[in-house]
Chains A and B, each alone.
Chain A
Amino acid sequence: MFYIYCPHCGEHREEEEFHAKGQAHIARPADPDSCSDKEWGEYLFFRKNPRGLHHEMWVHATGCRKFFNVTRDTVTYEIKEVYKIGERPSVVAAGN
């Protein structure tokens, strides 16, 4: 069970207080109507499944209800960094 630092509350809390919301930094296309079916399908359904660093979104569901991003190693489950929505990660996988 993870121990997650909520950047809005400024505290570590148990994973039970959070919901995982999948891959981070997936922006809704600015003009959905001009997307092809393929583009829209990629936005909707296709996600990365990296071995190693992964940027993912979490929400402090039973806490402050705020969304934020977590950079986590999917092999060791280490949380490398926590940052707010709109911020860029400082820890990134090589080649990214």
Chain B
Amino acid sequence: MSQKNRLASGGRIDRSKSLRFKYNGREYQGYQGDTLASALLANGVDIIARSFKYSRPRGIVAAGAEEPNAVLQLGATEATQVPNVRATQQELFNGLVSSATNGWPNAEMDLMSYVGKVGGRMMPPGFYYKTFMYPQSMWETYEKFIRKAAGLGRSPLENDPDIYDKLNHHCDVMIVGAGPAGLAAALVAARSGARVILADEQSEFGGSLLHSGEKINGRPAVEWVAETVAELEKHPEVLLLPRSTVNGYHDHNFLTIHQRCTDHIADQAPKGQVRQRMHRVRANWVVLATGAHERPLVYGNNDVPGCMVASAVSTYINRYGVVPGNELVLMTTNDYAYQTALDWADAGRKVVAIVDTRQSPKGARIEEARKRGLNIITGSAVIDVQGSKRVSGVQVAPIDAKGDKVTGSVERLSCDTVASSGGWSPVIHLSCHTGSRPEWRDDIIGFVPGKTVQRQLTAGGINGTYSLRKVLEEGATAGAKAAESAGFADAAKGIALPLSEEVKEGPAMALFHIPHTKPTARAPKQFVDLQNDVTAAGIELATREGFESIEHVKRYTAMGFGTDQGKLGNINGMAIAAKSLNQSIPETGTTIFRPNYTPITFGAIAGRDCGELFDIKRYTAMHKWHVEHGALFEDVGQWKRPWYFPKAGESMQQALDRECKATRDSVGILDASTLGKIDIQGKDAREFLSRVYTNAWAKLGVGKCRYGLMCGEDGMVFDDGVTSCLAENHFLMTTTSGGAARVLEWLELYHQTEWPEMEVYFNTVTDQWATMTISGPNSRKLLAELTDIDLDNDSFKFMDWRQGKVAGVPARIFRISFTGELSYEINVQANYGLFVWEKLFEHGAKYNLTPYGTETMHVLRAEKGFIIAGQDTDGSVTPIDLGMSWCVSNNKPFSYIGKRGMAREDCIRTDRKQLVGLKTKDPKKVIPEGSQAVNDPKQAIPMTMLGHVTSSYYSANLGHSIALGMIRNGHNRMGETVYYPQADGTVIEAEICSPIFLDPKGERQNV
């Protein structure tokens, strides 16, 4: 197995632990400590992707979160597929299976690339918009092909076998990033006794120290890292989170951290372990020590595999023992990048040239390079790259001091790798998440975090501070300040600062875009955003076409829209836009980064809130019985309510017909426990009711019940229910099952904010009571066998309630009816519910006591024209629209909620949509709910719609279908015909009628 680019020694990999992995179907080998990217580079894999738009071959360019190209598909099985994984952040494990995300038939040999080559010049920004806009009807067809060609990663087709979870924390000091600044901050904060969380996205703490070769306290920096981590591990209040990306910085110092717990171990998490965990942290103080990303330069054909960011090359050499090529040309605008050439030379490979864009650079590293005899070409730049699947050479030319134009003849150099450095961009992403605008600093040639209202400090590279000595200083200072601000006094005292030698550096040059001999539009492609194939020419074109705001340029060119959020390219793109608009970078501004910093899996977001645990489920006391008796369930809010109880072989309609008939012929029973129940007490309770209901409550005596409608201030119905007077200052209000919480909050709102002088108290008692409604002509006979209450019609009238015992259990019985039948609603303490329910069945067999669910309840109430708030109303319906003016009082002294609203000009129109009954011409035809009524089905589309069907069923008791619906001016159109055109082209004809289909005089409930 050849790892042709692997060094014999060095790096933080374990050469004794060999790992096998697959990439695009081929077997490779790497070592413990490798990332997928370093292992691919070790094996000399140059092409890992085809570009988004032009299908050009692409290679690995970076070594961390900023990688734009090496975005791979992972997963050994269908169920464990993970799309869009950055190979630079994926640790290698034995048996890892990966493949290129795009490219057809594969990334090596991609047919689309011919389109890119041939048509490339004809694919400017906005190409897709401009080309595929017309005809609009074809867009869906175009889109499929464009998406296929773009070849983004794919999601698994099977369920994820792994478990994910969430953890909530509070801490005094949250430190983001465990490089030198973060470690120094953590050390100081930890010693103060503060509760500290230190998170870093990498597998090891240390950040740049893991590859920089620098010294702290005179010894290799990695030794200081090891000692620091060892000490932090001993502090009981410190939580260390490696492999944990702080992905979001939200309001009030709330941070979300995506921890990859087992992604580095295997394709699937070991049994009993979670794959990923989302930490939700509320921090008193936050220290951002997120460092900086090196900016590549923008030059001709800078996307050919072998073109890399300079520091990434150093990282691969020093951390992973991999030299990603043989002959290096380094192009730099600054001193620091010389280190890459020195590292390359140390690894024993050839440095062809260091091309420095500055005219006469001076500094310690430059001296070192000169001493070693490396070829330094100053005042010049790499203006073009040769090669297609790998760099084969570069064109170098002298440029002027401002970097605007090529000033001399072009020289060709042979090489296979180009490293470039345009300086560093502070990783300000998290500081932007809370809305803070970044500020440009000319001295560091980069944006730094702007003003913030968060309790936030920053240290190190994020501030544009790059000398190790100062980075450590800033880290320690920030750690001390954060701990002290969080209440840990004297944190700064007695801290021995780790010391590091200052390296003398000369000034860097502010250069982003390398000039070419030809104007940008005619020069070879100079890529700014590699992931989205945005070129310098594209940005210039956008500004020429009139896009001046950087946010618009971004959207027009798609710069920074990829999964990498333009971590490498954005600043270059803004600089090019600024230059093209002839203004400064601060004038041009920057786009804002938003969460998440790196892509996050749906698994981590969902955590345990999936499958069975997706939502809360509420069960009534009789749930077990329902399950045992074959009920099918319906979700009503969070409640699981029996829908209907089919017997063996019955269809739904057959079951409903049977349940409906049994109830009207003998007796049925409904579990009504889910109805909201609010206990209302206090001397002003009665007055309060009359203010929130539309009808009168002054005279409701103890032992009596009354139906009420509740409206908003706009006069629209929002809930209804029966309220009973339990005692002089004591009422029980019922609400719809789904509206209970909303109604309670509504009552509290008015009591607390409008009428605090009223003495009234509310409490929910929904769960405390089990409610079973027996309904039908035999309900009295059945109940009489079980209760001591006198059920005689003269003493226990319709709309009365009584206290007594049922089956020996204390009970409240309400003689109210939602079916129009003789009906009793039995309420017992919830834990007696099942017992009483079963007792009713023991005695009910001889009456054919039939359990029914929500569907039969709906049919029976619709036969009576009783509304369901939320089904027959939708927030635009007044009581008058419902034909319920009998429930609206006009002579209550207080202007109750809804009264003024109902009197608005629009509400008193007589031709509003009104609730009516609908009888279909074909008695078997059930109009689908939601169907729209029209007067003339033959009119041209779009037709004039009159209102929709709100409830529609087949009524076995009546032998025909019934429906309720809204019709414009419906109350005045009784007997007229309307039409309901259906999606299949048929039309259902119906007659407008009274919504009360059965027993219009209401005699059955009064027997």
A contact residues vs B (CB 8 Å cutoff): 1-3, 14, 19, 21, 27-28, 31-33, 35, 37, 40-41, 43-44, 57, 59, 61, 65-67, 73, 75-79, 85-86
Is there contact, CB below 8 Å, between B901 and A57?
Answer: no
Residues of B contacting A66 in the complex (Cβ-Cβ under 8 angstroms): 752
Which size class do B's interface residues fall under?
A: 20 to 34
Instruction: Tell whether, in the assembled complex, residue B900 and residue A3 are in contact, meaning their CB atoms are under 8 Å apart.
Output: no
- Additional A-B contact list (15), CB under 8 Å, known A3-B254, A44-B901: A1-B251, A3-B252, A27-B754, A35-B900, A37-B904, A37-B905, A40-B901, A41-B904, A43-B713, A44-B713, A59-B745, A61-B745, A66-B752, A79-B252, A85-B753
Smallest beta-carbon distance B746→chain A, Å: 11
In the bound complex, CA of A44 to CA of B748 (Å): 19
User: In the complex, which residues of chain B have a beta carbon less than 8 angstroms from the beta carbon of A3?
Assistant: 251-254, 282
B630 at the interface (CB under 8 A from A): no
**A32 and B895 within 8 A (CB):** yes
User: Given A3-B253, A77-B435, do A85 and B895 touch, yes or no (CB 8 Å)?
Assistant: no
> Which chain B residues numbered 679 to 728 have a C-beta less than 8 Å away from chain A?
713-714
Q: Decide if B899 is an interface residue (CB 8 Å cutoff).
A: yes
**Nearest Cβ distance between residue B454 and chain A, in whole angstroms?**
9
B756: interface (CB < 8 Å): yes
Q: Which residue of A lies closest to B907 (CB)?
A: A37
Q: Which of B137-165 contact A (CB under 8 A)?
A: none
How far apart sit A28 and B254, CA to CA, in the bound complex (Å)?
Answer: 36
Q: A32's contact among B453, B744, B900, by CB below 8 Å, is which?
A: B900
B749 within 8 A of A: yes
Q: Which residues of B contact A86 (CB under 8 A)?
A: 756
B745 touches which of A1, A19, A79 (Cβ 8 Å):
A19
B254, A40: Cβ atoms under 8 Å? Answer: no
B797 at the A/B interface (Cβ < 8 Å)? no
Partner of A1, one of B252, B754, B895, B901: B252
Q: Return chain A residues, CB-CB under 8 Å to B895.
A: 31-33
Q: Are B453 and A78 in contact (CB under 8 A)?
A: yes
**Interface pair B900/A67, CB less than 8 Å apart:** no
19 pairs, A vs B, C-beta closer than 8 Å? A2-B252, A31-B895, A32-B895, A32-B899, A32-B900, A33-B895, A33-B903, A37-B904, A44-B901, A57-B753, A66-B752, A67-B752, A73-B453, A76-B435, A77-B251, A77-B434, A77-B453, A85-B752, A86-B756
Q: Assuming A1-B254, A33-B900, A76-B453, is B754 touching A28 (CB within 8 A)?
A: yes
A59–B748 CB distance below 8 A: yes
- Contact residues in B for A61 (Cβ distance below 8 Å): 745
Closest to A43 in B: B713
In the complex, what residues of A have CB within 8 A of residue B745's CB?
19, 59, 61, 65
CB neighbours (8 Å) of B805 from chain A are none
What chain B residues lie within 8 Å of A2 (beta carbons)?
251-252
Interface string of B239-253 (1 = CB under 8 A from A): 000000000001111
Residues of B within 8 A of A40 (CB): 900-901, 904
What is the chain A residue whose CB lies nearest that of B900?
A32
CA gap between A41 and B715 in the complex, in Å:
12
Chain A residue numbers with a CB within 8 Å of B899 are 32-33
Please give, as numbers and ranges, the residues of chain B lying within 8 Å of A32 by CB-CB distance. 895, 899-900
B746-761 toward A: CB 8 Å interface, digit per residue (1/0)?
0011001110100000
Give CA–CA (A50, B251) in the complex, Å.
19
Q: List, in ascending order, chain B residues with CB within 8 A of A67's CB.
A: 748-749, 752-753
| Chain A residues in 8 Å Cβ range of B900 | 32-33, 35, 40
- How close is A11's CB to chain B, nearest CB, in angstroms? 12
Q: Which residue of A lies closest to B714 (CB)?
A: A44
As a 0/1 sequence over residues 243 to 285 of chain B, the CB contacts with chain A under 8 angstroms (1 = contact) are: 0000000111110000000000000000000000000001000
Contacts of A57 in B (CB 8 A): 753
- When distances are taken between beta carbons in the complex, the residues of chain A under 8 Å from B254 are 1, 3
Residue of B nearest to A28 (CB): B754
| Chain B residues packing against A (C-beta within 8 Å) | 250-254, 282, 434-435, 453, 713-714, 744-745, 748-749, 752-754, 756, 895, 899-901, 903-905
* Whole-angstrom CA separation of A40 from B491 in the bound complex: 59
A7→B254 CA distance, assembly (Å): 21
| Complex: A90 Cα to B234 Cα, angstroms | 47
The 10 lowest CB-CB distance pairs between A and B, nearest first, are A32-B900, A3-B252, A76-B453, A32-B895, A77-B251, A67-B752, A1-B254, A78-B453, A33-B895, A28-B754
- Residues of B contacting A65 in the complex (Cβ-Cβ under 8 angstroms): 744-745, 748
Query: Contacts A3-B252, A3-B253; is A21 near B904 (CB within 8 Å)?
Result: no
- The distance from the CB of A63 to the nearest CB of chain B, in whole angstroms, is 12
Asked whether A1 and B250 contact (CB < 8 A) given A19-B745, A32-B899, A40-B900, the answer is: yes
Residues of A within 8 A of B752 (CB): 66-67, 85
Complex: chain B residue closest to A3, CB-CB: B252
* A73: B residues at CB distance < 8 A: 453
A57 to B748, CA, bound (A): 13
Question: Of all chain B residues, which has the CB nearest A14?
Answer: B282
**Central interface residue in B748, B752, B900, by most chain A CB within 10 Å:** B900
What CA separation (Å) do A22 and B170 show in the bound complex? 29
Please give, as numbers and ranges, the residues of chain B lying within 8 Å of A59 by CB-CB distance: 745, 748-749
Which A residues are CB-close (under 8 A) to B252?
1-3, 77, 79
Min CB distance, A90 to chain B, in Å? Answer: 19
Q: Nearest CB to that of A39 among chain B residues?
A: B900
In the bound assembly, the distance between CA atoms of A40 and B713 in angstroms comes to 9
Distance of A14 Cα from B904 Cα, bound (Å): 40
A65 to B749, CA, bound (A): 9
Kindly state the separation between the CA atoms of A76 and B895 in the bound complex, as whole angstroms: 40
On chain A, the residues within 8 Å of B282 by CB distance are 3, 14
Q: Chain A residue with minimal CB distance to B451?
A: A76
Residues in B neighbouring A43, C-beta threshold 8 A: 713
| Cα–Cα, bound, A16→B375 (Å) | 62
Q: In the assembled complex, how far is the CB of residue B708 from the closest CB belonging to chain A, in whole angstroms?
A: 19
CA distance A19 to B744 in the complex (A): 13
| A1 CA / B904 CA spacing, docked (Å) | 39
CA distance A69 to B904 in the complex (A): 30
Q: What is the distance, in angstroms, from A70's C-beta to the closest C-beta of chain B?
A: 12
Give the docked Cα–Cα distance between A43 and B904 (Å).
Answer: 13
Tell me the complex Cα distance, A65–B748, Å.
8
Q: How far is the CB of A44 from chain B (nearest CB, A)?
A: 6
Nearest Cβ on chain A to B908's Cβ, whole angstroms: 10
B901 contacts across to A, CB distance below 8 A: 40, 44
Residues of chain A within 8 A (CB-CB) of B251 are: 1-3, 77
Give the complex CA separation of A52 and B607 in angstroms. 36
Q: Name the distance in Å between B434's Cβ and chain A's nearest Cβ.
A: 8
A35 to B901, CA, bound (A): 11
Cα A33 to Cα B895 with chains together (Å): 7
Which residues of A are found within 8 Å of B756, using beta-carbon distances? 85-86
> In the complex the two chains form, what is the Cα distance from A78 to B903 in whole Å?
41
Smallest beta-carbon distance A39→chain B, Å: 10
Identity of the chain B residue whose Cβ is nearest the Cβ of A1 in the assembled complex:
B254
A41 to B714, CA, bound (A): 9
CB distance from A27 to the nearest CB of B (A): 8
Q: With a CB–CB cut-off of 8 A, which chain A residues contact B753?
A: 57, 67, 85
Q: CA of A28 to CA of B900 in the docked complex: distance in angstroms?
A: 11
Q: Which residue of B lies closest to A24 (CB)?
A: B753
A57 to B: closest C-beta gap in Å: 7
Cα separation A77 to B436 with both chains bound (whole Å): 11
In the assembled complex, the CB of A55 is this many whole angstroms from the nearest CB of chain B, namely 13
Chain A residues lying within 8 Å of B435, measured Cβ to Cβ, are 75-77
Give CA–CA (A66, B753) in the complex, Å: 10
The smallest beta-carbon distance between B730 and chain A, in angstroms, is 20
C-alpha spacing A78/B452, complex, angstroms: 10
Per the bound structure, the CA–CA distance linking A35 and B899 in Å amounts to 12
Please measure, in the bound complex, the distance between the C-alpha atom of A2 and the C-alpha atom of B253, giving whole angstroms. Answer: 9
Determine the distance from Cα of A77 to Cα of B433 in the docked complex, in whole angstroms: 12
The CA-CA distance from A3 to B749 in the complex, in Å, is 22
Closest chain B CB from A17 CB (angstroms): 13
Residues of the A chain whose Cβ atoms lie less than 8 Å from the Cβ of B250: 1
CB distance from B83 to the nearest CB of A (A): 28
CA separation between A3 and B168, bound complex, in Å? 14
Provide the residues of chain B in CB contact with A85, threshold 8 Å: 752-753, 756
